[in-house]
Amino acid sequence: MCEEEKESFTDKMKDSYGRTIDYLRISVTDKCNLRCKYCMPEEGVPCVAHKDVLTLEEITRIAGVMAGMGLKKVRLTGGEPLVRKNITELLRQLHAIPGIEHLALTTNGVRLAEMLPELTEAGLDHVNISIDALDPAVFERVAGRAHLQEVLDGIAAAYAKGLKVKLNCVPVRELNPDEPLRLAGMAKERKIDVRFIELMPIGQGRQFTGIPTEELLRQMEEVYGKAEALPYDGEGPAQYYAFAGFAGRIGFISPISHKFCAECNRLRLTAEGRLKLCLYYKDGIDLRELLRNGAEDNQLQEAIAQALLQKPKEHAFGVKDRERTEQRRMNQIGG
Ligand code: SAM
Ligand code: SF4
């Protein structure tokens, strides 16, 4: 591709609201080894046929095509990305793509400790680990499986290895109301970010009640003292706070109460190859179909650039619009 052509596609990574889109979250599977109550039903979900899931080569091709348009960061998620066969090989292939500067993973941590050496060797540099409770009984109640120790081992291993570690907890009134306070304490000794994500009314999440950010912050200040709001660090949607004597930061991601759509820089790719423009809406394009029908790189780029122009200005959680809203569950979208 000539320089001029490259530049015109880089421009096309802007959406119609002037936002630069340089971040792709890739769901590599919708299978999972946990059953978090707000995410997946206990009986699991109907299996997507193997042939319908993007192959490693197809995922790498899409990431490569988008890197040619200005993509800089890729995050693998799921379902649980560490249950996907050959995930390390996928990381290695993505790491080799020129232009992709950051390779991250969002995981429940169950298989992290055992897989960490191969993952870091393949190029992983950031890891977000989801953990909703430190009390073993509460963990099992939320996650449906007694795997707390494995998750703690994963966190310890990632931290010891020097990876940038962020912990994510979804506070839910009916499931883990006392855990956010205890989890926040994990940032006291270790330089890790502990973040609290507002429950979104997607899939199983519709059956539960999230705990508002203000309430959590108040609880934490009662125990850990006054929190200092930190200036925006230019990375992602979290608002961070510092507590005196804490090595790490406490963050709040509040898509419902504090919309951050104006700064949105992301697209999502589902395991079946649908490029999603916004978490809330089902709109998007079927890249798998294009790929399997033999589209050339420039045709893929054109289709992606056109889709980007349809990226909505903002989500509309709270508005009932079955026609346009996403009906998939979070394990299918990737969170
Ligand atoms: N299995 C991996 C994990 O749990 O980190 C990756 C996929 S999971 C869908 C990604 C994130 O989405 C997790 O932090 C999970 O807690 C969060 N999540 C799932 N359902 C949610 C919901 N309804 N609202 C907010 N966050 C949700
Ligand atoms: Fe699995 Fe992650 Fe959903 Fe929990 S949140 S059920 S770990 S995909």
The CATH topology of domain 3-333 is TIM Barrel (3.20.20)
Out of 75, 87, 130, mutate this one to test ligand 1's pocket (max ligand atoms within 8 Å of CB): namely 130
Q: Which long-range contacts (CB under 8 A, 24 or more apart) does 145-151 make?
A: 145/33, 145/34, 145/35, 145/110, 147/33, 147/34, 147/108, 147/110, 150/109, 150/110, 150/111, 150/112, 150/113, 151/108, 151/109, 151/110, 151/112
Give the pLDDT score at 259.
66
Q: What is the CA(78)–ligand 2 centre distance, in A?
A: 8
Question: Cα(116)–Cα(122) distance, rounded to whole angstroms?
Answer: 10
Low-confidence ranges of the chain (pLDDT < 70): 1-12, 258-259, 316-330, 332-335
Q: What is the CA(296)–ligand 1 centre distance, in A?
A: 34
Cβ 38 under 6 angstroms from ligand 1? yes
Angle, helices 112-121 vs 148-160, to 10°: value is: 30
User: Ligand 2: residues within 6 Å at CB?
Assistant: 32, 34-36, 39-40, 78-80, 108, 130, 330-331
Q: Are 216 and 196 in contact (CB under 8 A)?
A: yes
Which two structure tokens, joined as six digits, stand for 37? 């109550």
Out of 84, 106, 183, 270, mutate this one to test ligand 1's pocket (max ligand atoms within 8 Å of CB): namely 106
Pick the atom of ligand 1 nearest to 333's CA: 9
DSSP category for residue 82: G
Beta strands at 266-269 and 274-276: parallel, antiparallel or unpaired: antiparallel
pTM of the complete model: 0.92
Cβ 196 under 6 angstroms from ligand 1? no
Give the pLDDT score at 232.
84
pLDDT digits (tens, 9 = 90+) for 210-260: 999 999 999 999 999 999 999 988 778 899 999 999 999 999 998 777 667
Sequence ranges of the domains in the chain: 3-333
Q: What is the CA(119)–ligand 2 centre distance, in A?
A: 20
From the CA of 131, the nearest ligand is 1
pLDDT digits (tens, 9 = 90+) for 70-84: 999 999 999 999 999
Give the pLDDT score at 1.
47
Helix (H, G, I), strand (E, B) or coil at 179: helix
Pick the atom of ligand 2 nearest to 144's CA: 6
